[in-house]
Amino acid sequence: MVLSTDLTVHLQLVGSLKTALISQEDSEVEHSPMLLMKIVIKCADVGHSSKALHLHARWSDLIIEEFFLQGDDEHTLGMDISPFMNRNSENSARNQVGFFEFIVLPFFEVVAEAVFRPEFKTILDQAHQNYKLWKKADNMQINSIKDILDQVLDPEAAKIAAAASKAPTGH
């Protein structure tokens, strides 16, 4: 089951769902407990992508930092740094746009259509909203996750921080 989160299995899972849609055999998905469990686990794996913006932003920040820590370890060990893991060549907005375009949205769209239908609409809509913000950051050429969080994903917090930095300190 855990292998359902592996990206090499991702396309196979999406393909199974698309096949079920094309054949219009709902029972193929609904009566396959193993397939349903794989779908649920995969939804959980990429679920932060469809969370409310403040939660999605926090999870994205944590995941990106986890990637960078792996890259730091690879560098320390004299290994080539894996893609997306090098904090010195960060392009978080573009990476997230690609993640949404090739992984999240195609998966959620087929899950919405093949499995959960109307119940999944809210999840899919939020994923699209989050994607639009990453796309905005990419179009603005903002690469750093910290800058993206401040300027795009959480502009209200950025306004508060800016106001606080301008406030007299009383010294």
Domain boundaries of the chain, sorted by first residue: 1-45, 48-165
pTM above threshold 0.85: no
Nearest CA to 4 out of 71, 91, 103, 92 is that of 103
Taking the C-alpha atoms of residue 167 and residue 52, their distance in angstroms, rounded to an integer, is 30
What pLDDT is recorded for position 108?
A: 92
pLDDT class for 5, splitting at 50, 70, 90? Answer: low
- Which pLDDT tens digit goes with each residue over 101-154? 999 999 898 888 877 778 888 999 999 999 999 999 999 999 898 898 888 876
Residue 1 has pLDDT above 90, yes or no: no
Taking the C-alpha atoms of residue 104 and residue 47, their distance in angstroms, rounded to an integer, is 9
- Which pLDDT tens digit goes with each residue over 31-68? 677 777 888 888 888 999 999 998 899 999 999 999 99
Strand, coil or helix: 68: helix
Residue 162 has pLDDT above 70, yes or no: no
User: Is there a contact between 29 and 94 (Cβ–Cβ < 8 Å)?
Assistant: no
Nearest CA to 14 out of 101, 114, 118 is that of 114
Please name the residues in contact with 99: beta carbons below 8 A apart, sequence gap of 6 or more. Answer: 49
Taking the C-alpha atoms of residue 38 and residue 58, their distance in angstroms, rounded to an integer, is 25
Tokens encoding 71 = 């890259």
Tokens encoding 1 = 């089951």
Taking the C-alpha atoms of residue 162 and residue 107, their distance in angstroms, rounded to an integer, is 38
- Which pLDDT tens digit goes with each residue over 88-105? 999 999 999 999 999 999
Residue 3 has pLDDT above 50, yes or no: no
Candidate CATH numbers 3.40.50.300, 1.10.1300.10, 3.50.50.60, 1.10.238.10; the one for domain 48-165: 1.10.1300.10
Residue 158 has pLDDT above 90, yes or no: no
What pLDDT is recorded for position 112?
A: 85
